[in-house]
């Protein structure tokens, strides 16, 4: 929840905004006033007007306002301007929105009074169709009209279940100790970037094997150069990356996900960890392409990746030499197996994956049926094993024999 409050001698106005964990396509904004009664005077209604014009514009998308279902509802569709890879992305990503946030209506302002102290604004976003966005909107609207607090209750209940699944709680004898709050905040920050597996959205139409696109070191928000950890250590300046957006992490995925972020998620929220590992499986085809292009076997995963799995870093030195992400991925799969596979499953062994030509097997990764997140063995045999075998083949193809050392070695 993100809440802002304004308080005066006569009233207090709060604005609460959140993305529903139970309804992942739903964005909610609640504007509410609390009136203070003084003597026999009746509180006056409050007129609220936006101080900034609401505009549906984006530097990343072409947005089209399709029209309205009724005067106070808008239907909006959009399409991303950039296609990462024409070989691996069949079409630009599209989205569809149904919302009651109507700029013309908001510009008129709206009143809050003791008899009508609250307004709720809803917007739903779908990857698949406008019909889906409308169905999700109408479902949320029905709940909000029947039980005004229910969307907040759902949100609180969803987060309660998340914390009940597991978390780290520290106790300090020193009341001034900030470490427990820091640890709690770190866990919360990670969890806000992970969808709830119980209510996850359907897969992307262009990537049916993937319903979640990984954890970024700086979260999901799009930041600026001064907020970026690479800029702070001087990488952007040292390597003459002029465009400040080049240093913006933009929600992209790095090896940090497997080594720094997933170990904790894996222990307490294994299904969420699985969603993150599914991202690597969905990007396996691009990693195979890259290995073939470099005359290697298996798969070479990029240092930085996004929608299709191709290398997206502007830092060429990292793109050419940072191969440790392959080790990070196998480490994460190993940790997941160690924590969640039964002893009998671990002793079953593996079956070699047939060699494949990545150029001709697109459907292998984009046409499969969903794998149940409830069954660790099924996930490993369908996805995890393939990840490990592709990583192993990559390392084997880099092995060279040293006559001096009389042994095989991997060179950087």
Q: Kindly indicate the confidence band of residue 300, based on its pLDDT and cuts at 50, 70 and 90.
A: very high
Place of tokens 């794998």: 371
d(CA 346, CA 348) in angstroms, rounded, equals: 6
DSSP structural state of residue 243: -
Class (C level, CATH) for 180-200+252-352+372-410: mainly alpha
Torsion of CA 166, 167, 171, 176, to 10 degrees: -150
The DSSP code sequence of 309-349 is SS---S-HHHHHH--HHHHHHHHHHHHHHHHHS-HHHHTT-
Q: Where are the beta strands (DSSP E) in 251-406?
A: 399-402
Task: Inform me whether the pLDDT recorded for 158 exceeds 70.
Answer: yes
Q: 383 with 281: CB under 8 angstroms?
A: yes
**What does the block give as tokens for 377?**
């063995």
pLDDT score of 351: 45
Task: Inform me whether the pLDDT recorded for 269 exceeds 60.
Answer: yes
Q: 58 with 125: CB under 8 angstroms?
A: no
pLDDT score of 40: 65
d(CA 400, CA 255) in angstroms, rounded, equals: 25
pLDDT score of 87: 83
Task: Inform me whether the pLDDT recorded for 286 exceeds 90.
Answer: yes
Say which residues have a Cβ less than 8 Å from residue 124's Cβ, sequence separation at least 6. Answer: 23, 25, 26, 27, 97, 98, 99, 133, 134, 136, 137, 140
Please write the tens of the pLDDT for every residue from 172-188: 888 888 998 899 888 98
Please write the tens of the pLDDT for every residue from 84-130: 888 888 788 889 999 998 888 888 888 999 999 999 999 999 988 99
Please write the tens of the pLDDT for every residue from 200-246: 666 666 667 777 888 888 655 444 444 444 444 444 444 444 343 44
Q: Residues spanned by CATH 1.50.10.10 within the chain?
A: 180-200+252-352+372-410
Q: Does residue 254 or residue 204 have the better pLDDT? A: 254
pLDDT score of 404: 92
SS3 84: coil
Q: 80 with 92: CB under 8 angstroms?
A: yes
From 289, 321, 291, 325, select the one nearest 305 (Cα to Cα): 325
Q: Does residue 410 or residue 78 have the better pLDDT? A: 78
Task: Give the percent of the chain with pLDDT over 70.
Answer: 81
d(CA 6, CA 346) in angstroms, rounded, equals: 57
* Mean per-residue pLDDT, 370-391: 82
* Mean per-residue pLDDT, 23-49: 87
Average pLDDT taken over every residue of the chain? 81
Distance of CA 280 to the CA centre of its chain: 14
d(CA 356, CA 340) in angstroms, rounded, equals: 29
């Amino acid at each position: 929840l993100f809440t802002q409050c304004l308080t005066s001698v006569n009233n207090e106005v709060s604005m609460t905004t959140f993305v529903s964990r139970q309804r992942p396509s739903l964005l909610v904004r609640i504007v509410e006033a609390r009136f203070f009664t003084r003597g026999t005077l009746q509180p006056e209604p409050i007129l609220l007007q936006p101080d900034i014009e609401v505009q549906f514009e984006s530097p990343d998308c072409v947005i089209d306002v399709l029209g309205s279902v009724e005067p106070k509802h808008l239907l909006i569709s959009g399409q991303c301007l950039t296609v990462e890879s024409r070989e691996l992305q069949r079409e630009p990503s599209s989205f569809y929105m149904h919302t009651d946030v109507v700029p013309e209506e908001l510009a008129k302002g709206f009143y809050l009074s003791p008899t009508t102290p609250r307004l709720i604004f809803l917007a739903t976003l779908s990857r698949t169709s406008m019909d889906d966005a409308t169905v999700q909107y109408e479902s949320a609207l029905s709940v909000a009209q029947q039980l005004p607090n229910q969307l907040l209750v759902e949100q609180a209940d969803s987060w309660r279940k998340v914390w009940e699944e597991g978390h780290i709680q520290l106790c300090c004898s020193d009341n001034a100790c900030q470490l427990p709050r820091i640890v709690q905040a770190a866990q919360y920050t990670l969890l806000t970037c992970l969808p709830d597996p119980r209510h996850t959205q359907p897969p992307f139409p262009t990537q049916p094997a993937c319903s979640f696109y990984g954890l970024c070191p700086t979260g999901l928000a799009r930041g600026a150069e001064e907020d970026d950890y690479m800029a702070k250590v001087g990488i952007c300046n040292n390597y003459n990356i002029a465009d400040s957006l080049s240093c913006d992490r933009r929600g992209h995925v790095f090896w940090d996900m497997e080594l720094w972020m997933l170990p904790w998620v894996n222990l307490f929220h294994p299904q969420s960890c699985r969603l993150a590992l599914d991202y690597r499986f969905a990007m396996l085809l691009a990693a195979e392409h890259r290995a073939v292009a470099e005359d290697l076997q298996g798969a070479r995963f990029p240092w930085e990746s996004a929608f299709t799995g191709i290398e997206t870093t502007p830092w060429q030195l990292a793109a050419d030499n940072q191969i440790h992400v392959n080790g990070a991925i196998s480490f994460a799969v190993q940790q997941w197996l160690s924590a969640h596979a039964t002893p009998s499953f671990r002793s079953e062994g593996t079956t070699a994956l047939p060699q494949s030509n990545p150029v001709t097997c697109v459907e292998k990764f984009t046409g499969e049926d969903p794998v149940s997140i409830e069954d660790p063995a099924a996930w490993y045999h369908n996805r995890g094993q393939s990840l490990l075998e592709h990583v192993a083949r990559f390392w084997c193809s880099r092995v060279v024999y040293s006559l001096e050392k009389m042994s095989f070695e991997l060179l950087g």
